Amino acid sequence: MPKESNEANQSNEANPANPASATCAGKHPAPPCTLVIFGAGGDLTKRLLMPSLYNLSADKLLDDGMEIIGVNHGERETSDWRDELTQSLRGFAADKAATFHTSQLNEEAWNWVVGRLEYFPGEFEEDETFARLKARLAKAKSGNIMFYLAVGARFFQPIIEHLGAAGLLEEKDGNFRRLVIEKPFGTDLASAKALNACILKFADESQVYRIDHFLGKDTVQSILAVRFANAMFEPIWRREYIDNVQITAAETIGVEGRGKFYEQTGAFRDMLPNHLFQLLGMVAMEPPNSFDAESVRDRKAEVFDAIRPLTANDVVLGQYEAGPAGPGYKEEPGVAKDSRTETYAAARVYVENWRWAGVPFYLRTGKRLTERRTEISVQLKAVPFLLFRDTPVDALTPNVFTLRIDPAHGTTFDFNVKVPGPVMQIGKVRSAFNYADFFAERANVGYETLLYDCMLGDATLFQRADSIETAWAAVDRVLHPDSPLAVHGYAAGSAGPEQSDKLLAQDGRTWRALTDTRKKD
């Protein structure tokens, strides 16, 4: 399809000097607020929060009254913190492999952010830190405060308890106080309940924004647009027409020096009950009455509540061994030589409601796989073969609609056509749409929308306490089995353990190939 036929693309070309102008049309700046970042010296702050604030500044979506206070242990000057973040941002911008890569930084936009940065030294578990912080916030330009916990999970409860004890989460005089928390939201059902109980002891659910960065990706948010803004999809989005749904989050990298951390988590806890369940929720949810935050979150909560609890027979775990892509997991720094931590997890999930009864959702994620790919593939049921029984057709290719989330953004649809010639011969073809062909590419790390929505008070893309707990409840039996689950080896650089293929084979199905040998669209 030629680019000039697309209205959205034409609007992007209206202001070539500012590719963001069309994207941000109709949006207004967030209200003034003070953003307090716990973990100011951490990787999350450098790699994701600061690039996101830069992009929001470039798009004129932040109020001039904004202040950014970074809390971290260790004394240092604000000027040193500013210099460190500036160097990091420039490094990410120049790195073509980085999520945040741009040919040219908008110096005015970054200087706007830098001028609002203030370093605040303090220990996360000491009363004195929060007493000083309270005194500092009393002098803030705005009474609106956002507390962002960009810290390890072990600090969540201590920080929340200290904020609550200091009265820093109390909302007064029409000003908001919001608490932003990164995953993991617990490591099983019991710990998730304990964390939620701690949070809700000091804050109302309406003040809490649990971030899943997957939901900040434009292509993830577009799942709702594809489903509910196009009449061709919704009528067939149900068990009568869909055979199975496959959700894949495959990585080619290993644990990248984070072996000690990964040993405590594993692929299943890290990805299944949060990232992949969130994608499942968006695919499987009923149409909301509106895009009001609670309407959308209610519909997703219904999906999680309808998931049949997983058993050991629904799950395959794997761990990469030495292979074409490099050494095995046990050779990674910080990993025990007898480790049974899984780096691959696959699961068969059933949503037991009227729309999806009997339709399996196959989820898989893994490290050191053959290709980096995050996608959702919806396979339609096969048509009757009788019409073609007297023709040279061995099989019909399944009709599969795929939403490509990462690294390529777009959709594909596989279907059958007649091969030109005098004989009725069926050929497999693919129709594709690529975002880059129609919309201006931007240096976007995925947190921009999430931060902006936090400031606006729009909780649509954030998880609620009940959804967190029902998701963990669905997998808790697997996390605490009567006997340890087997962890199967797979070669680094392969598609995963062969037992994962058997999980689908027993249902008469196969995984979508991770490596596409067909001609690229």
CA distance 185 to 336: 25
The neighbouring-strand residues paired with 121 are 72
HEC profile of 54-71: HHHHHCCCCCCCCEEEEE
Asked about 275 being catalytic, the answer comes back as yes
DSSP run (H or E) holding 319: strand 315-321
CA distance 29 to 142: 15
Q: Taking the CB of residue 80, how many other CB atoms lie within 10 A of it?
A: 10
CA distance 480 to 485: 10
Written as one string, the DSSP assignment of 160-207 is HHHHHHTTTT---TT--EEEEEESP--SSHHHHHHHHHHHHHHS-GGG
Report helix angle 293-306 to 465-479, nearest 10.
20
* CA nearest to 202, candidates 225, 232, 179, 234: 179
| CA angle, residues 232, 233, 236, in degrees to nearest 5 | 105
Residue 282: phi and psi, rounded to 5, are -70, -30
501 alpha carbon, distance to own chain's centre: 25
CA distance 311 to 475: 8
**Helix (H/G/I), strand (E/B), else coil: 132:** helix
Written as one string, the DSSP assignment of 5-36 is G-HHHHHHTT-TT-THHHHTTT--PPPP-EEE
The neighbouring-strand residues paired with 319 are 489
DSSP 87: H
Written as one string, the DSSP assignment of 408-440 is S-EEEEEEEEEPSSSS--EEEEEEEEEGGGTS-
498 alpha carbon, distance to own chain's centre: 27
CA distance 61 to 30: 6
Q: Are 418 and 427 in contact (CB under 8 A)?
A: yes
Token look-up 């951390």 returns: 261
**Helix ranges, 95-138 (H):** 107-114, 127-137
Among 73, 275, 480, 488, which one carries the catalytic annotation?
Answer: 275
Active site residues: 275
